[in-house]
């Protein structure tokens, strides 16, 4: 299976993250699965004229294309021309290239939240008019229309994440190569379910604090970050805390909140990223699949029942009170 | 006289997209124009937001120097708040930042830069079989070992910073996770494994031996490891005569710790070191598709010219220091810091060889620093102080990314961001001409490069451009 990778208006971080794949390393892994890069802007030898020829050959169907991976959002500005990003050496906008090359691909994969939904490039007033390959934020329809289907019949596959996890990309590609990723394996925002059916909250080491609503009051404290520090791990999709990042890491493990980077419009939470918006002292963004009244009742009950160990550790930067051990038989 | 124009792009194995236009006369480049073809608008994006949002948004300018952006934002906010990070917090931040810089140098050497020596055009050279084996893009044994070693080294960022890139762990007051004694020992063991890799593959000798090299000759006759292979290639291709920059080097100084910056700050020209006065920075807009006036970054604005009018040819502004183009990067940093081998190389000018040698030197020196810093972690310490931002104020955050001097300048009014300007290393190195017609450093370095009759994408041009390790996503941001 061959892959043509384009870097559009993003930070290149999803490629940098991809290079963190391990056991085996990204090149051994992909090669072992029969996946090869036709061209990748950070990794391939070919530059300049050789690349222009290759792009023309793909566009004219002379070279068949299995997967088009797009990293970075698609900028449509100024005034819908896409001239905020002309693919260098070609005199054509990336918008134009993506629209054309997508027609030739068996599968189209949007790598990272920028390519999927617009992402951070569309933050603030969206100065470059950035959109995703097939979405514009939550709205279905981006650089490609909502009804676009690649030659395989699938919509654009959104491997969202900012950056996206290296395994999310390699596993998506390997599933495609083995013919085992169908439309039923994508969630309603076209993210692969193998990681999008989990929540960041799952396996977060702060779960016990969450149970008692024992909350951190500032970054670096050990407590749950939902009440005060903007954590939306209970709503954010991703197996970040199950799988781990760069060894054993994750955002919440490092003491800062999940900002829902796998979701459309995460870049504009309408509040400071590391503060929880509250209404009458109650956090606004409660878990999505729980009736609010229940949540409130449970929260006040568990708060009242918080063991001293958990209450004290929650506002400390390390374990102050260890769990009690049962006394042995004497 | 025979002349022709060449357009080089897509220019790959640089971070982001780059287009170079060349005027070639009698097989030599007589003028070069660097175009940064992507505008995203991070600076206007920040306006009106709460200042702390800069810590989430600006790292996403760049996926390769994300921690540098994050450290610069934290420094700018800390400057505005008039606060200092907890000393041990600064130490862990330096550790995180040093790992990113080290990884970037490693990625550059093995994945971005050396692949060009495996090209068929060099098939007749004595070193080519070895270059083919080690450096072939994606296939070479050095390439695979490097990505593997890098992924493992980044476990330290996973542990302390949650993930790489785009961590939120670095804050004005320090870092968000207090490492334990167990973490410290893990970090040290990861560093030991990385040292083993460097000594076996990149240097083929103890790291200290490379750090202690005192002169240009000692560097260019180094013969072991991939560094030695590169020196052999460099001697054969005369890379010490290729790609001279302006000979004026800028470093803000790297890794601010309570005792000072580990690599010292300064501006170096003709053997003279002077202090950096950031008041002397102006961003010239004459050849950028940007509207408004030339300004210091505290006053600067970012208003793209939607008509992309001539004579502009890039989205990149042209920062100048007291009116001058300056080169920044690992070599500049080592010259400014006064490493004897770097100073000796600088006497000959900043060639392709010098830039790569500077990076190799810095890989070795950074490994030693990381080991020292990790040993100095005191698990009982405080890693984050509180720091509160003023309703009105301004701050300057200066750090050194792998590619050189990175600055953030923030203005805060009524608790909101009223101005945010960023000058990245590649903004300096890949700036277009200014109103006096002075070319940017890479444009100057390309003048005189030899172009073969049948070359469409000249190899000499590729070596020169890549020797700067450009990061185009940072350039315009
Ligand atoms: S910090 Fe976030 S992800 Fe962790 S338990 Fe609390 S709400 Fe869940
Ligand atoms: S924890 Fe949340 S913000 Fe962090 S990577 Fe996972 S989804 Fe993104």
Q: What is the pLDDT of residue B1?
A: 62
> What tens digit of pLDDT does each residue of A169-181 get?
999 999 999 999 9
B144 → closest Cβ in A27, A130, A250 = A27
3-state secondary structure at position A318: coil
B367's enclosing H/E stretch is: helix B352-375
Residue B206 has pLDDT above 80, yes or no: yes
Residue A289 has pLDDT above 80, yes or no: no
Q: What is the DSSP letter of A95?
A: H
> What tens digit of pLDDT does each residue of A132-146 get?
999 999 999 999 999
Q: What is the pLDDT of residue A203?
A: 97
Q: What is the pLDDT of residue A294?
A: 84
Range with the lowest mean pLDDT among A112-116, A282-286, B120-124? A282-286
> What tens digit of pLDDT does each residue of A204-260 get?
999 999 999 999 999 999 999 999 999 999 999 999 999 999 999 999 999 999 999
> What tens digit of pLDDT does each residue of B340-376 get?
999 999 999 999 999 999 999 999 999 999 999 999 9
- For A40, A223, A224, B378, the CA distances from A220, given in Å and listed in that order, are 39, 9, 11, 16
Task: Give the Å distance between the CA of A106 and the centre of ligand 2.
Answer: 30
Atom of ligand 2 nearest to the CA of A250: 1
Q: With bands split at pLDDT 50, 70 and 90, how would you rate the model's confidence at A300?
A: confident
Mean pLDDT of B204-213: 98
Residue B426 has φ and ψ, to the nearest 5°, of -75, -20
DSSP code per residue over B33-98:
EEE--B---HHHHHTTS-GGGHHHHGGGG-SSSHHHHHHHHHHHHHHHHT----HHHHHHHHHHHH
Q: With bands split at pLDDT 50, 70 and 90, how would you rate the model's confidence at B186?
A: very high
- All residues at 6 or more sequence positions from A243 whose CB lies less than 8 Å from its CB, including other chains: A165, A167, A195
Q: What is the pLDDT of residue A279?
A: 83
Ligand 2 residue neighbourhood (C-beta within 6 Å): A 161, 200, 236, 238, 240, 250-251, 258-262
Q: Where are the beta strands (DSSP E) in A51-204?
A: 65-71, 74-75, 86-87, 92-93, 105-111, 130-131, 135-136, 139-140, 157-159
Contact B13 A44 (CB under 8 A): yes
The interface residues of chain A toward chain B in range 161-220, judged by CB-CB distance below 8 A, are 162-163, 218-220
What sign does the CA torsion over B327, B328, B330, B335 have?
positive
> What tens digit of pLDDT does each residue of B255-272 get?
999 999 999 999 999 999
Identify the residue among A35, A56, A88 best suited for mutation to test binding to B, counting B beta carbons within 10 A and taking the highest.
Answer: A88
Contact B12 A42 (CB under 8 A): yes
3-state secondary structure at position A82: coil
- For A136, A245, B97, B102, B352, the CA distances from B366, given in Å and listed in that order, are 42, 24, 10, 7, 21
Q: Do the beta carbons of residue A13 and residue B166 sit within 8 Å?
A: yes
Q: With bands split at pLDDT 50, 70 and 90, how would you rate the model's confidence at A328?
A: confident
Q: Where are the beta strands (DSSP E) in chain A?
A: 2-7, 36-39, 65-71, 74-75, 86-87, 92-93, 105-111, 130-131, 135-136, 139-140, 157-159, 278-279, 282-283
**Chain B nearest CA to A227, separation (Å):** 17
Question: Which residues of chain B neighbour A163 with C-beta distances below 8 Å?
Answer: 63, 163, 165-166
Among B172, B167, B86, residue whose Cα is nearest residue B380: B86
Q: What is the pLDDT of residue B157?
A: 98
> What tens digit of pLDDT does each residue of A71-83 get?
999 999 999 999 9
As a whole-number percent, the residues of chain B with pLDDT over 70 amount to: 100
Task: Give the Å distance between the CA of B87 and the centre of ligand 1.
Answer: 28
Contact B166 A163 (CB under 8 A): yes
Please state, in angstroms and rounded to a whole number, the distance separating the CA atoms of residues A142 and A124.
18
Residue B447: alpha-carbon gap to chain centroid? 22
Average pLDDT of chain B? 97
Q: Is the CB of A252 under 6 A from ligand 1?
A: yes
Mean pLDDT of B204-220: 97
Residue located via tokens 């076996």: B200
Mean pLDDT of B126-131: 98
Higher per-residue pLDDT: B20 or A302: B20
Mean pLDDT of B303-327: 97
Q: Do the beta carbons of residue B64 and residue B425 sit within 8 Å?
A: no
Mean pLDDT of B174-196: 98
Among B109, B102, B116, residue whose Cα is nearest residue B12: B116
Beta bridge partners of B175: B170
> What tens digit of pLDDT does each residue of B274-297 get?
999 999 999 999 999 999 999 999
Q: What is the pLDDT of residue A330?
A: 66
Range with the lowest mean pLDDT among A9-18, A99-108, A184-193, A279-288? A279-288
Question: Which residues of chain B neighbour A259 with C-beta distances below 8 Å?
Answer: 56, 168
Q: Where are the beta strands (DSSP E) in A94-181?
A: 105-111, 130-131, 135-136, 139-140, 157-159
Q: Supply the Cα-derived Rg of chain B in whole angstroms.
A: 21
Task: Give the Å distance between the CA of A65 and the centre of ligand 2.
Answer: 32
Residue A203 has φ and ψ, to the nearest 5°, of 75, 15
Please state, in angstroms and rounded to a whole number, the distance separating the CA atoms of residues B219 and B212.
10
Residue A49 has pLDDT above 80, yes or no: yes
Instruction: Give the number of the ligand closest to the Cα of residue A214.
Output: 1
Average pLDDT of chain A? 96
* Number of other CB atoms surrounding residue A184 within 10 Å: 6
The protein residue whose alpha carbon is closest to atom 1 in ligand 2 is A258
Residue A327 has pLDDT above 90, yes or no: no
- Contact with chain A for residue B154, Cβ under 8 A: yes
Q: Do the beta carbons of residue A107 and residue A67 sit within 8 Å?
A: yes
What is the CB-side half-sphere exposure of residue A269 using CA atoms within 13 A? 26
Residue A98 has φ and ψ, to the nearest 5°, of -65, -45
- All residues at 6 or more sequence positions from A29 whose CB lies less than 8 Å from its CB, including other chains: A21, A170, A174
Mean pLDDT of B95-103: 98
Contact B155 A247 (CB under 8 A): yes
For the purposes of burial, counting CB atoms within 10 Å of the CB of A28, is it exposed (0-12), middle (13-18) or buried (19 or more)?
Answer: middle
Residue A30 has pLDDT above 90, yes or no: yes
The interface residues of chain A toward chain B in range 144-163, judged by CB-CB distance below 8 A, are 162-163
Residue A39 has φ and ψ, to the nearest 5°, of -165, 140
- All residues at 6 or more sequence positions from B406 whose CB lies less than 8 Å from its CB, including other chains: B65, B68, B69, B72, B252, B398, B399, B400, B422, B423, B424, B425, B474
Among A154, A169, A110, A108, residue whose Cα is nearest residue A136: A110
């Amino acid at each position: 299976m061959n892959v043509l990778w384009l870097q559009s208006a993003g930070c290149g971080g999803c490629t940098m993250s991809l290079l963190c794949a391990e056991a085996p390393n990204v090149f051994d892994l992909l090669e072992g699965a029969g996946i090869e890069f036709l061209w990748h802007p950070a990794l391939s030898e070919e530059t300049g004229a050789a690349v222009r020829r290759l792009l023309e050959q793909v566009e004219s169907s002379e070279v068949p294309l299995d997967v088009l991976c797009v990293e970075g959002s698609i900028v449509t500005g100024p005034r819908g021309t896409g001239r905020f990003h002309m693919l260098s050496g070609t005199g054509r906008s990336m918008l134009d290239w993506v629209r054309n090359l997508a027609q030739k691909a068996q599968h189209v994969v949007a790598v990272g939240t920028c390519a999927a939904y617009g992402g951070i490039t569309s933050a603030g007033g969206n100065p470059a008019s950035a959109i995703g390959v097939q979405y514009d934020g939550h709205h279905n329809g981006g650089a490609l229309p909502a009804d676009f289907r690649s030659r395989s019949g699938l919509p654009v596959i959104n491997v969202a994440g900012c950056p996206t996890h290296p395994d999310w990309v390699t596993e998506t590609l390997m599933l495609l190569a083995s013919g085992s990723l169908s439309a039923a394996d994508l969630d309603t925002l076209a993210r692969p379910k193998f990681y999008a059916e989990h929540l960041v909250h799952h396996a977060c080491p702060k779960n016990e604090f969450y149970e008692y609503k024992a909350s951190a009051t500032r970054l670096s404290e050990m407590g749950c970050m939902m009440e005060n520090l903007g954590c939306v791990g209970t709503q954010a999709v991703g197996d970040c805390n199950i799988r781990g990042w760069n060894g054993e890491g994750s955002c919440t493990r490092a003491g800062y909140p999940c900002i829902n980077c796998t979701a459309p419009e995460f870049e504009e939470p309408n509040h400071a990223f590391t503060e929880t918006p509250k209404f009458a002292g109650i956090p606004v963004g409660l878990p999505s699949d729980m009736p609010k009244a229940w949540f409130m009742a449970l929260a006040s009950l568990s708060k009242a029942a918080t063991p001293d160990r958990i209450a004290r550790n929650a506002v400390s930067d390390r374990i102050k009170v260890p769990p009690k051990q049962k006394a042995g038989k004497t | 006289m025979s002349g022709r124009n060449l357009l080089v792009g897509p220019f790959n194995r640089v971070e982001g997209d780059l287009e170079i236009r060349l005027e070639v006369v009698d097989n030599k480049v007589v003028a070069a124009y660097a175009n940064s073809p992507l505008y995203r608008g991070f600076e206007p994006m920040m306006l009106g937001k709460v200042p702390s949002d800069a810590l989430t948004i600006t790292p996403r300018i760049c996926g390769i120097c994300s921690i540098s952006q994050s450290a610069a934002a934290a420094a700018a906010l800390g400057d505005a708040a008039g606060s200092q990070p907890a000393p041990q917090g600064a130490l862990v931040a330096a550790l995180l930042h040093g790992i990113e810089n080290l990884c970037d140098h490693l990625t550059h050497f093995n994945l971005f830069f050396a692949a060009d020596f495996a090209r068929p055009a060099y098939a007749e050279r004595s070193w080519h079989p070895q270059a083919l084996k080690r450096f072939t893009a994606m296939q070479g044994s050095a390439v695979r070992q490097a990505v593997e070693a890098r992924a493992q080294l980044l476990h330290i960022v996973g542990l302390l910073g949650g993930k790489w890139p785009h961590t939120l762990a670095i804050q004005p007051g320090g870092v968000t996770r207090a490492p334990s004694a167990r973490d410290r020992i893990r970090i040290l063991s990861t560093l030991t494994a990385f040292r083993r890799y460097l000594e076996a593959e990149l240097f083929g000798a103890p790291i200290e031996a490379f750090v202690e090299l005192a002169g240009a000759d000692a560097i260019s006759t180094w013969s072991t490891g991939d560094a030695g292979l590169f020196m052999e290639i460099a001697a054969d291709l005369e890379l010490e005569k290729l790609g001279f920059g302006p000979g004026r080097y800028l470093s803000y100084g790297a890794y601010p710790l309570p005792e000072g910056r580990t690599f010292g700050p300064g501006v170096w020209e003709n053997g003279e070191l002077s202090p950096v006065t950031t008041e002397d920075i102006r961003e010239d807009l004459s050849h950028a598709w940007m509207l408004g006036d030339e300004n210091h970054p505290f006053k600067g604005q970012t208003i793209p010219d939607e008509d992309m009018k001539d004579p502009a040819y890039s989205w990149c502004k042209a920062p100048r220091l007291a009116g001058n183009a300056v080169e920044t990067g690992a070599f500049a940093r080592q010259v400014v810091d006064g490493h004897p081998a770097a100073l000796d190389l600088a006497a000959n000018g900043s060639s392709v060889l010098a830039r790569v040698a500077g990076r190799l030197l810095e890989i070795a020196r950074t490994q030693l620093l990381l080991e020292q810093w990790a040993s100095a972690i005191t698990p009982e310490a405080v890693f984050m102080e509180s720091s509160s931002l003023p309703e009105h104020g301004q701050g300057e955050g200066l750090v050194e990314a792998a590619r050189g001097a990175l600055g953030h300048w923030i203005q805060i009014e009524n608790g909101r961001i009223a101005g945010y300007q960023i000058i990245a290393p590649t903004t300096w190195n890949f700036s277009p001409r200014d109103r006096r017609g002075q070319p940017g450093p890479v444009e100057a370095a390309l003048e005189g490069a030899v172009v073969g009759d049948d070359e469409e994408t000249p190899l000499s041009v590729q070596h020169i451009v890549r020797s700067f390790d450009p990061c185009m996503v940072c350039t315009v941001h």
